[in-house]
A and B are shown apart, each in its own frame.
Chain A
């Protein structure tokens, strides 16, 4: 079976880098892999969804993931986690960042930010919630939220720690490497 990982968040949160780290890691392990990204207008503060699919011994065809098919959903924001809940497969897992970012309909008062999202999701599926923003701050840059979350996810896979570190080293720009390695470690040890 292919493994399906869905990364959701708000445009600007760094979901693209997270999916690229995962993609490179899978390729380095000799898997077939597809990473589906989002560019253009939808990146501007809107809901963004990227998919990473890999197969150890089989070819990956479709780059997208349907409802009920994600082994892991990695959510960078609480409401986006909720929106992605239907995509988690039976027995699948969600890792979510408890950060809230109000969407424009909430800001304008046209809608309300749903309450108790974490509880509602955990009634249905296995959830690990983490305050990735706090850990990113601890690592030295709030923009490292993405790598903190990758760290949390890494622990939930059977891929060795060193392989993740190697991939981060080749994917992340040199000047942000220290912060990102620290962020990954904080996430991994969470």
Chain B
């Protein structure tokens, strides 16, 4: 990419570009949809140190250290990742920043790839850290640069808030040059950097003064713009909702577009409202702006006319504001099957869940591709809460229901998720005399978010070789004496191992080892084919493989879908499936 040019960029790539142009030196993140491509794009810039950290808290702390050390630094996460990094973030509000410090968080309205629909704007108010919200890729780039400048000028961390449609939409960005900021001086200053009560009390005063200054800035900044189209209807909005509103309502209304969503500009809102007869607040998820606007005495139409659930659309806005219907379209006159996501053909997790389902075990699940183990026909996973909960929640279940229950219970957790927050749960099992069995689904990569390296893969974010965390040694070191490695595609042996380990009167770890089928290093060849020995017992159908289905009463394998992994060959009791090389 060259300077003074334009490029079509994802919002996420534009955040990375903005950070690059702002002279960022350190970026540390944990992958999470829809934020992942920010840090992946950072890797394209050799001037920047980038890392995948084991979890968001560590990532934020690496960025915090870099900021204190005088560098511009950033950490990016999805909305639920912000919960993990919240602890250091709240205290950094007190400490402020030395080098500019940006936390970039991507919400997921509509839950395209998430377990909840949390609205991260509340964090800005709760932590007293200002928050900017861009609406397209160009704004992503520009706001990131502004966030770094403001962070240094006001001695505060910054939040940038994205949502899926901003993160994952490409639009045109004007490229600028990198401003190579010198490292700021690091001066020992316990009053600022050591947050114990005596110091923190003084810093809290600074925080409150800072917010007053930022509130005054909110009234003046060009981030918050009024678009007066001479209408008596006013729309207060921010981020992607502005784009939807603008498409739906065009120049028929006036807009107050808030680029800075915390702190909010009271006077600007009041002035805007005074010129209109009717005010709408258009925002996805919680009535965050709406509540504030009401609190300063402006009557608005907000969630009553829209919804707290999912994404907005221009059609929804047009209907709510002008009562205009969507255009005519051809309706489907029958119920058609849904197509939920499924584990890929060749997925190593399929063997694991086939066995767990067969054994009728209760499965404490976790976050990753393998959450799909909850879906029919495998329908094996019982619970999914958050990163790492498979391990600790299983201990809780076992403590509540006793050892006999524990012997019919397993946790399943991916390699990356285990590094993220499974280790502490495992320590808890050992420390508090649990007898749980934890299955680490080691597929040699962070799968769900699109193949990021992690501490168990032996490679850094830039693909350089590094020390690899040895899962066996790690589990043994925390006190697990029974650690078994097994291949989930060798279903007979895997079943035997699981049976033995759940029955043991002590804690155990099974490392289910087989790489993700989508990895370039995995080379299955040919495809599987059903021969004349098939008795139509449909045992292979229990795998829930997208390549195997029933046509005209007979089981068939779609050779375009099959990747030749051969798992079905291992479960067929009649030797009726064989491999055919292409």
Shortest CB-to-CB span from B81 to chain A, Å, is 13
| A14 CA to B418 CA, complexed, in Å | 31
Which one of A105-113, A158-166, A172-180 is at the B interface? Answer: A105-113
Assess whether B330 is in contact with A64, with CB atoms less than 8 Å apart: no
Question: Smallest CB–CB gap between B224 and chain A, Å?
Answer: 19
Give every chain A residue within 8 A of B332 (Cβ-Cβ): 82-83, 85-86
Residues of B with C-beta under 8 A to A185: none
Docked-complex contact A101 and B561, CB < 8 angstroms:
yes
Given contacts A39-B37, A64-B313, A109-B550, contact A34 B328 (CB under 8 A): no
> B326-349 toward A: CB 8 Å interface, digit per residue (1/0)?
111111101011111111100000
A128 within 8 A of B: no
Within 8 A of A (CB), among B495-547: 541, 544, 546
Determine the chain A residues whose CB is within 8 A of the CB of B244 once the complex forms: 61-62, 64
A40 to B114, CA, bound (A): 9
User: A83 and B336: CB pair below 8 A?
Assistant: yes
Question: Who on chain A is nearest to B36 by CB?
Answer: A39
Contacts of B169 in A (CB 8 A): 34-37, 63
Contact of A40 among B247, B339, B448, B548 (CB under 8 A): B448
**Interface size range on B against A:** 35 or more
> A34-B171, A69-B327 given as contacts; is B344 within 8 A of A45 (CB)?
yes
Q: Which one of B170, B376, B549, B550 lies within 8 Å of A110 (CB-CB)?
A: B376
Contacting residues, chain B, for A43 (C-beta < 8 A): 341, 450
Residue B461 at the chain A interface, CB threshold 8 Å: no
For residue A124, CB closer than 8 A to chain B, the reply is: yes
Complex CA gap A114/B263 in Å reads 52
B165 touches A36 (CB 8 A): yes
Flag B198-241 by CB within 8 Å of A: 1 or 0 each.
00000000000000000000000000000000000000000010
Which of A33, A66, A67 counts the most chain B CB atoms within 10 A? Answer: A66
Given contacts A11-B341, A61-B243, A107-B546, contact A82 B336 (CB under 8 A): yes
> Restricting to A59-113, which residues have a CB under 8 Å from any CB of B?
60-64, 66-69, 79-80, 82-83, 85-90, 99, 101-113
For the complex, what is the distance from the CA of A133 to the CA of B558, rounded to whole Å?
13
Q: Closest residue of chain B to A112, judged by CB?
A: B337
Give the residues in chain B near A142, CB-CB below 8 Å. Answer: 560
**Cross-chain contact B33 with A67 (CB below 8 angstroms):** no
Known: A41-B448, A42-B112. A88 touches B339 (CB 8 A): no
Known: A34-B169, A40-B112, A90-B327. A80 touches B339 (CB 8 A): yes
- Asked if B341 and A66 make an inter-chain contact with CB atoms under 8 angstroms apart, the answer reads no
Q: Are B336 and A114 in contact (CB under 8 A)?
A: yes
Determine how close the nearest CB of chain A comes to the CB of B254; give it in whole angstroms: 16
* Distance to closest chain B CB from A127 (angstroms): 11
- Is B314 at the interface (CB under 8 A from chain A)? yes
Q: Is the CB of B243 within 8 A of A62?
A: yes
**Cβ–Cβ < 8 Å partners of B337 in chain A:** 79, 103, 105-106, 110-114
Q: Which residues of A contact B314 (CB under 8 A)?
A: 62, 64, 66
- B339's nearest neighbour on chain A, judged by CB, is A103
Cβ–Cβ < 8 Å partners of B377 in chain A? 104, 107-108
Quick check: B33 and A41 within 8 Å, CB to CB? Answer: yes
> Does B376 lie within 8 Å of A108, measured CB to CB?
yes
Chain B residue nearest in CB terms to A133:
B560
Give complex CA distance A131, B312 in Å.
36
Cα–Cα distance between A44 and B209 once the two chains are bound (Å) = 48
* Given contact pairs A66-B313, A88-B329, A45 touches B546 in the complex (Cβ within 8 A): yes
A63 touches B329 (CB 8 A): no
Q: For residues 1 through 54 of chain B, which have their beta carbon under 8 Å from a beta carbon of chain A?
A: 6, 8, 10, 33-34, 36-37
Instruction: State the Cβ distance, B33 to closest chain A Cβ, in Å.
Output: 3
Closest to B342 in A: A45
Closest A residue to B12 by CB, please name it.
A39
Q: How far is the CB of A12 from chain B (nearest CB, A)?
A: 7
Does A23 lie at the interface of the complex (its beta carbon under 8 Å from any beta carbon of B)?
yes
Known: A44-B342, A61-B243, A86-B331. A102 touches B549 (CB 8 A): yes
B449 touches A (CB below 8 Å): yes
Chain A, residue nearest B318 (CB): A66
A106 CA / B330 CA spacing, docked (Å): 24
A121–B329 CA distance with the chains assembled, in angstroms: 12
Question: 1/0 per residue B293-333: CB within 8 Å of A?
Answer: 00000000000000000010111000000000011111110
A118 within 8 A of B: no
- Chain B contacts for A24, CB-based, 8 A: 8
When distances are taken between beta carbons in the complex, the residues of chain A under 8 Å from B168 are 36-39
Choose among B248, B330, B549 the residue with the greatest number of A CB atoms under 10 Å from its CB. B330
Min distance, Cβ B335 to any Cβ of chain A, angstroms: 8
Q: How far is the CA of A61 from the CA of B574 in the complex (A)?
A: 58
**Which of A23, A46, A113 makes the CB contact (< 8 A) with B8?**
A23
Query: B327: which A residues are within 8 A, CB to CB?
Result: 67-69, 89-90
Q: Name the one of A45, A90, A107 contacting B328, with C-beta atoms under 8 angstroms.
A: A90
| A89 cross-chain contacts in B, Cβ below 8 A | 327, 329
User: Closest CB-CB distance, B273 to chain A, in whole Å?
Assistant: 24
Closest to A143 in B: B560
Say which residue of B243, B339, B449 sits within 8 Å of A79 (CB atoms): B339
Known: A23-B170, A33-B8. 7 other contacts (CB 8 A): A44-B343, A45-B339, A83-B336, A88-B330, A104-B342, A105-B337, A105-B338
Query: Which residues of A pack against B, CB within 8 Å?
Result: 10-12, 20, 23-24, 27, 32-47, 60-64, 66-69, 79-80, 82-83, 85-90, 99, 101-114, 121, 124-125, 133, 142
The 5 closest A-B pairs by CB, nearest first: A40-B113, A40-B33, A68-B329, A46-B341, A68-B327
Q: List 13 A-B contacts (CB under 8 A).
A: A33-B171, A35-B8, A40-B448, A40-B450, A42-B341, A47-B339, A66-B315, A67-B329, A82-B336, A87-B329, A105-B376, A111-B337, A114-B337
